[in-house]
Amino acid sequence: MYSFKNDYSEGTNPRILNALIESNLEQVDGYGEDHYTLEAAELLKQKIKLSNIDIHFLSGGTQTNLITISAFLRPHEAAIAANTGHIFTHETGSIEATGHKVISVEVNDGKLSPDHIKSALGMHTDEHMVKPKLVYISNPTEVGSIYSKTELEQLSSFCKKNNLILFMDGARLGSALCSKENDLQLSDIAKLTDAFYIGGTKNGALFGEALVICKDSLKEDFRFHMKQKGALLAKGRVLGIQFLELFKDELYFDLAKHANKMADLLRKNIESMGYKFLTYSPSNQIFPIFPNKIIEKLQEKYSFLVWSKIDEDSSSVRLVTSWATKEDAVKAFLKDLKNLTC
Amino acid sequence: MYSFKNDYSEGTNPRILNALIESNLEQVDGYGEDHYTLEAAELLKQKIKLSNIDIHFLSGGTQTNLITISAFLRPHEAAIAANTGHIFTHETGSIEATGHKVISVEVNDGKLSPDHIKSALGMHTDEHMVKPKLVYISNPTEVGSIYSKTELEQLSSFCKKNNLILFMDGARLGSALCSKENDLQLSDIAKLTDAFYIGGTKNGALFGEALVICKDSLKEDFRFHMKQKGALLAKGRVLGIQFLELFKDELYFDLAKHANKMADLLRKNIESMGYKFLTYSPSNQIFPIFPNKIIEKLQEKYSFLVWSKIDEDSSSVRLVTSWATKEDAVKAFLKDLKNLTC
Amino acid sequence: MYSFKNDYSEGTNPRILNALIESNLEQVDGYGEDHYTLEAAELLKQKIKLSNIDIHFLSGGTQTNLITISAFLRPHEAAIAANTGHIFTHETGSIEATGHKVISVEVNDGKLSPDHIKSALGMHTDEHMVKPKLVYISNPTEVGSIYSKTELEQLSSFCKKNNLILFMDGARLGSALCSKENDLQLSDIAKLTDAFYIGGTKNGALFGEALVICKDSLKEDFRFHMKQKGALLAKGRVLGIQFLELFKDELYFDLAKHANKMADLLRKNIESMGYKFLTYSPSNQIFPIFPNKIIEKLQEKYSFLVWSKIDEDSSSVRLVTSWATKEDAVKAFLKDLKNLTC
Amino acid sequence: MYSFKNDYSEGTNPRILNALIESNLEQVDGYGEDHYTLEAAELLKQKIKLSNIDIHFLSGGTQTNLITISAFLRPHEAAIAANTGHIFTHETGSIEATGHKVISVEVNDGKLSPDHIKSALGMHTDEHMVKPKLVYISNPTEVGSIYSKTELEQLSSFCKKNNLILFMDGARLGSALCSKENDLQLSDIAKLTDAFYIGGTKNGALFGEALVICKDSLKEDFRFHMKQKGALLAKGRVLGIQFLELFKDELYFDLAKHANKMADLLRKNIESMGYKFLTYSPSNQIFPIFPNKIIEKLQEKYSFLVWSKIDEDSSSVRLVTSWATKEDAVKAFLKDLKNLTC
């Protein structure tokens, strides 16, 4: 049984394990104040080409989202998210648990536009309603789409004009940045958002996300929030060492490119067999629509999520590739699909 | 510069790294539903000799404390802790951030007794005050002392009579259990408390704590709380694999014994040089009192915390040993101290 | 300028003022432990025909909703509400501020049915999502509709089967109970819900809501929650005296009947002039649709809310009547409307 | 049985009832946007002699404290209070329920000094601890003492230097301002604190506190917080009308003066009978120490709190006077005490 269920089925890239081994018995300071973590932060600043940004390393996406959003907002302020946004759907009310409403906006393709936000603002006009203050976007989105530079510029400009914080969830940012259709650089994102994070867990790390805070007024005392929410690892080095390895050369991007290449292979071939897709996705998650009978057959050899019912006879499924996805497995899947299709 | 600053200066025990390596490319389920994690939970149940307990793996002590306590309490209920208790002093108000007051009680040796709790109950009598509901103890305490079986039985009995939840923070539980003065077994603790955790981070793991929920009524839906607070790692296997390795034989206890042995060596020799200690500590943290001049000299070659001022000329320091502490370093420290003392 | 803007424009029914005057200089206990408040609670139990219920008096609707819902839920549990529900739209995220998500369900007429709840349950299936636990309904709803006995029985039965708490917001309960189309008694509501409140503020009191907790397991320590959220008035008598006066005879119902009678008068005549309504409302809030030109003219002499845009030329408005609405004012409004209509 | 138990045993000053009657049937806007409330705010600005302050009317002390403090603080910030401070002892963890720790400091006379605060700051030095940000003082304190102008100036200056918010709980501010030993004016308090409130409930109002926000950066969006916490009364007029009446002439101060006069009468005569007091209190709460036998006798005719055990045979009691305390009752009490004393 080969899994296309997600991009966190395997452990970590071997280079990261090696880096952990090599540094293992060195004595360093705790709580992310060790030299590995400091170097990793410096390295990321270079990659992002900005020095006046703050970098913090956290353990996972939900943790990063909830600490960041609760640190940025006052009690009456709310986040705006797409109705597919991870914080709205799959984080067990973690934002609400910190006291903040998530205002959801109906979208088609996982992406928010200024018009969506404008409509949310229009419905929140006085003190009987929460005050929308932060815009949460994911890139790639939860349905695989990615933001173009123009789209992000428009969002950024709208947020600035309306005094809104723009925050990008980059759990799969590697895949977005390495998509063939991407025209955004890390440095663009840092200029256009107030904060974003670079996901490690879903791109080859054992675990870990690198939060980048770009806007000065949001930086103060961030480590207090991390500690208060249980996110300051005693052996913080574990996070620093991983990001150092991922970014000391092109590893982070190489891993994402492999994941994307595997997704491209799946997409191209599935398309050529005549199947449609639920969403337009140029990243490492794709959502083809198959007859239920074929899905059942595929499930005998492959694990993946059945995503949504299309009609009585067919459903969309989610296929996810990663840095560790084997080309042989992809080819075997395609071959099996081909046979089932004929 | 050799560090006696804490027990999380190094990475992880090499056997744990090996276990991570060996399992690394296997595809398993996410979020702690993989077979490693399930096996680790089963193994712990055997070690604890109870089957009707729930085991959850979390990333660190503050995270474990805040999720456990907030999951157990209703909004108006409070925790009682010693004034030295970690949740009261060094977790950035994490319990309060979940809405609950921590009632602190002045203690001498880090340990709570039924009398302490009785006094706290006596001051909280109606709805104008919070309702004390959970008793938080650490074993060993933050000042190195440990609970005897008799003491824990008395606490347990008092809590049962007064309908209080008894929760033990076991960040350094290995060191307590392996102390020469200890008469508690894991199975005793599971019978006498409503929940406790077995600390991994400070006893050789890369990171990780194993929470044990003993009382049935506290078990329901615990994974929801973990997810909501950002504690459900996508690659949850990382925690399961570590605890499996720590407990598949005596590794966990062997590591703690080494830490204790190193502390014993320090304690015995420091004592024999005529120094006093701030607290009576039979575990891996000791608090000798040295002249400030000697402290300054020691700091040239060793790092450790200066804990508290004793008088104008002397202070207590905290020396912490771990599974990784080298006997040579301990001997060198003692030799240097001896020379400074003469 | 006469106001049909809401049902809290005037002060309080004169009989309530008299009751305050008569009791004014008596010394009584504070925080709702005075004999007036105790008598009011006993009286309500008689009116509701149940003795095993708990009654608490609070100051307003948002306060009652937030304290009740946060007292009833554990941290990971959520409330389900209609997308028109007051807690979802107009209480400034007060429920989220206590840590709980409000799951909104799209409805047509302000009312929730078992099917709506079933669909919400179907989308919340594991620990990556909040756990729906409480169903919030308003009677009358925010758009004036009311629940029939059959509808409430179906909801109640569904909630019991699915282990959900059913909570009714009765900010305007008087108007629902006195509607010509109502077939529910207070005693029915107490048997069919787990908790509900009887609104005073919008039915003649100076301020005040009477919360009724029907389900035993929800009663414990409720006063702690009231105090913690700032709802335990030092001079709690003020609430008790008001509810004693409202329920010692038929005053509460007489006031609601007058409000409904005024709404009936408006509705019947507006209908007979050929106008349509946005919603079917048999209570004291009605939502007729007028041409914008007529609305502008009416606004010269009357204040009311313009509710929603219907098309380029017409909008729905909200007309609210109360115990204090003058029949002359209603007639004048109708006459003016008639003139504008011709 | 005459009560000296507290200053909220009676209803409200008759002039306030009259004001409610006179305005009762006027239609005005809801939620504190009516002309009475606006006038009351303007009037208070005149009395305070400052125009750049914001005034909000709330229902009670706990409500005011919790909304103000939670609106002012970021999640990791804490309040410092005397260990006798109301928010630390008698508000059911309301501040913690909003997520913030209250750091208590041991004091003798209910008052905080810069040294107390300095010591609290000294123990909170990094992100492993909360960040002290707001200093909470009560004037008069919970044990009857009052702050002198010099003391408040020192506190104010210390807080400014250390970037701390200074907030004064004025639940009984009238009594402090009208104490013979007071040298503070309302305008001084507004200049020396960042926010404070003028208590109505304990000085003749039916209920109500007037919060004054002095510091510009703390003013933004305050009404959102009020609404979110259930404090925005639909009939907000009730609060405005009361404060308008209390401050349109000297009523507020006259009521406080009467309370103080009654306390002075008690204090002077109790002192002259040879009794000691637990605290030095020049306000309307006094704490004489009586033999337990005399206390028991007094309790047959008077109700009051037994405050604390002094020794086996004697205790301190709390006697509270108010605007409504009858001179005859005071004299009767003194006569009875005299007879019991002989």
ipTM value, please give it: 0.97
Distance (Å) from the alpha carbon of C92 to chain D's nearest alpha carbon: 5
Test the C interface: residue of A91, A101, A123, A308 with most C CBs within 10 Å: A101
Q: What is the pLDDT along chain A (342 residues), one digit of tens a residue?
A: 999 999 999 999 999 999 999 999 999 999 999 999 999 999 999 999 999 999 999 999 999 999 999 999 999 999 999 999 999 999 999 999 999 999 999 999 999 999 999 999 999 999 999 999 999 999 999 999 999 999 999 999 999 999 999 999 999 999 999 999 999 999 999 999 999 999 999 999 999 999 999 999 999 999 999 999 999 999 999 999 999 999 999 999 999 999 999 999 999 999 999 999 999 999 999 999 999 999 999 999 999 999 999 999 999 999 999 999 999 999 999 999 999 997
Spatial separation of the C-alpha atoms in residues B113 and B118, rounded to whole Å: 9
CATH, range B14-250? 3.40.640.10
Nearest alpha carbon to residue D235 among D59, D41, D47: D59
Under-70 pLDDT residues of chain D: none
- List of chain B residues whose C-beta atoms are within 8 Å of the C-beta of residue C128: 31, 227
Other beta carbons less than 10 A from residue D62's beta carbon? 28
Inform me whether the C-beta atom of residue D37 falls under 8 Å from chain C C-beta atoms: no
Report pLDDT digits (tens) over B72-87: 999 999 999 999 999 9
Give the pair of three-digit tokens for residue C147: 């629940």
C-beta separation of B58 from B71 below 8 A:
no
Nearest CA in chain C to D31: C8
Q: Kindly determine whether residue A92 and residue B227, on different chains, have CB atoms separated by under 8 Å.
A: yes
Amino acid at A167: F
A202: DSSP letter: G
> Is A207 an interface residue toward B (CB < 8 Å)?
yes
How big is the CA angle at A176 (ends A174 and A180), to the nearest 5 degrees?
A: 115
Q: Which of B266, B246, B265 is nearest to B254 (CA)?
A: B246
Q: Which residue of A has its CA nearest to C75?
A: A97
* A123 Cα to chain D: minimum distance (Å): 15
Residues of chain D with CATH 3.40.640.10: 14-249
Instruction: Please give the residue of chain C at the shortest CA–CA distance from A70.
Output: C97
Q: How far is CA D281 from CA C290, D108, D337, in A?
A: 66, 13, 20
- By the CB < 8 Å criterion, does D76 face chain A? yes
Comparing C-alpha atoms, which of C191, C141, C167, C142 is closest to residue C78? Answer: C167
**What pLDDT score was predicted for residue A281?**
97
Q: What is the DSSP string of D135-191?
A: EEEESS-TTS----HHHHHHHHHHHHHTT-EEEEE-TTHHHHHTSTT----HHHHHH
Question: Going by C-beta distance under 8 Å and a sequence separation of 6 or more, which residues neighbour residue C294?
Answer: C337, C340, C341
Residues forming CATH 3.40.640.10 domain(s) in chain C:
14-251
What the block records as the tokens of B86 is 């970690």
Which structure tokens are listed for C330? 């209603």
Chain B nearest-CA residue for C233:
B128
d(CA C120, CA C82): 11
Q: Which stretch of DSSP H or E encloses residue A263?
A: helix A251-272
CATH 3.90.1150.10-classified regions of chain C:
254-341
What is the spatial distance between Cα C137 and Cα C193, in angstroms, rounded to a whole number?
A: 10
Alpha carbon distance A2, A322 (integer Å) = 13
- Tell me the sheet residues that pair with D309: D315
Which residues, listed in sequence order, are joined to residue C144 by a DSSP beta bridge?
none
Contact B128 D78 (CB under 8 A): no
Residue C328 near chain A (CB below 8 Å): no
**In degrees rounded to 5, what are phi and psi of residue A142?**
-70, -15
For residue A146, what pLDDT is reported? 98
Q: Of B34, B25, B40, which Cα lies nearest the Cα of B205?
A: B40
Q: Does C75 touch chain B (CB under 8 A)?
A: yes
> How far is it, in rounded angstroms, from Cα D211 to Cα D233?
15
CA pair distance D63, B55, nearest whole angstrom: 40
> The tokens 């916490």 sit on which residue?
D229
Chain C within 8 Å of D18 (Cβ-Cβ)?
no
Cβ of A228 and B91 within 8 Å?
yes
Backbone angles phi, psi at A250, to 5 degrees: -100, 15
Residues 6+ apart with CB under 8 A from B131: B76, B77, B78, B124, C221, C224
- Residues in chain C closer than 8 A to B95 (CB atoms): none
**Residue type at A236 in one-letter notation:** G
Question: Does A242 contact chain B (CB < 8 Å)?
Answer: no
User: At the topology level of CATH, where does A14-251 sit?
Assistant: Aspartate Aminotransferase; domain 2 (3.40.640)
The class (CATH top level) of C254-341 is alpha beta
Instruction: Of D154, D101, D104, give the one whose Cα is nearest residue D129.
Output: D101
Q: If you ran DSSP here, which 8-state letter would residue D203 be given?
A: G
Question: Which of B111, B114, B92 minimizes the C-alpha distance to B102?
Answer: B92
- Enumerate the residues of chain C whose CB falls inside 8 A of the CB of residue A102: 101
- For B25, which of A10, A30, A231 is closest by C-beta distance? A10
Q: Which residue of A has its CA nearest to C130?
A: A92
CB count, 10 Å around CB of A274? 7
Q: Do D97 and C228 touch, CB atoms closer than 8 A?
A: yes
Indicate yes or no: CB of B227 within 8 angstroms of CB of C98: no
Tell the CATH topology of A252-341: Aspartate Aminotransferase, domain 1 (3.90.1150)
Average pLDDT for chain B: 98
CA distance D44 to D189: 13
d(CA C13, CA D304): 35
In this prediction, residue B342 has a pLDDT band, given cuts at 50, 70 and 90, of: confident
In CATH, the number for domain D14-249 is 3.40.640.10
Angstrom distance (rounded) from CA B37 to CA B43: 10
Asked if D11's CB is within 8 angstroms of C25's CB, the reply is yes
Q: Which residues pair with A251 in a beta bridge?
A: none
Q: What is the dihedral of CA C305, C308, C312, C313, to 10 degrees?
A: -40
Q: Which of C60, C23, C10, C48 is nearest to C247 (CA)?
A: C48
Which residue's structure tokens are 């509709």? C145
Residue B37 with chain A: CB contacts under 8 Å:
none
Beta bridge partners of D286: D319
Q: How far apart are CA A139 and CA A155, in angstroms?
A: 13
**Amino acid in position A177:** L
Report the gap between the CA of C127 and the closest CA in chain A (Å).
Answer: 7
Going residue by residue through chain C, which has 342 residues, state the pLDDT in tens, using 9 for 90 and above: 999 999 999 999 999 999 999 999 999 999 999 999 999 999 999 999 999 999 999 999 999 999 999 999 999 999 999 999 999 999 999 999 999 999 999 999 999 999 999 999 999 999 999 999 999 999 999 999 999 999 999 999 999 999 999 999 999 999 999 999 999 999 999 999 999 999 999 999 999 999 999 999 999 999 999 999 999 999 999 999 999 999 999 999 999 999 999 999 999 999 999 999 999 999 999 999 999 999 999 999 999 999 999 999 999 999 999 999 999 999 999 999 999 997
Contact C101 A91 (CB under 8 A): no
Residues facing residue C168 across a β-bridge = C137, C196
- Note whether D29 contacts A: Cβ–Cβ < 8 A: no
Measure the CA–CA gap between C138 and C140, rounded to whole angstroms.
6
Strands A77-82 and A131-138: parallel
**pLDDT value, residue A49:** 98
Q: Which of A27, A169, A223 to mutate to test the interface with B (most CBs of B within 10 A)?
A: A27
Coil/strand/helix, residue D54: strand
Fold of the domain built from segment(s) B2-7+252-341:
Aspartate Aminotransferase, domain 1 (3.90.1150)
Amino acid identity for residue D303 in this structure = S
CA dihedral sign of residues B220, B225, B228, B230: negative
Q: At residue A290, what are phi and psi to the nearest 5 degrees?
A: -125, 155
Please check whether residue C37 is in contact with residue C237, taking contact to mean a CB–CB distance below 8 angstroms: yes
Q: Which amino acid is at C241?
A: I
Tokens found for residue D77:
């910030």
Contacts of D14 in chain C (CB under 8 A): 24
The full 3-state SS of A13-71, as one line of letters, equals CHHHHHHHHHHCCCCCCCCCCCHHHHHHHHHHHHHHCCCCCEEEEECCHHHHHHHHHHH
Neighbours of chain A (3+ CB pairs under 8 A): B, C, D
Nearest to B93 among D90, D92, D130 (CB): D130
Mutate to test the interface with D, among A127, A232, A233 (most CBs of D within 10 A): A127
Residue A79 backbone phi and psi in degrees, to 5: -100, 145
Residue of D nearest to A127 (CA): D224
The contacts of residue C165 (CB under 8 Å, 6+ apart) are: C72, C133, C134, C135, C159, C194, C195, C215, C218
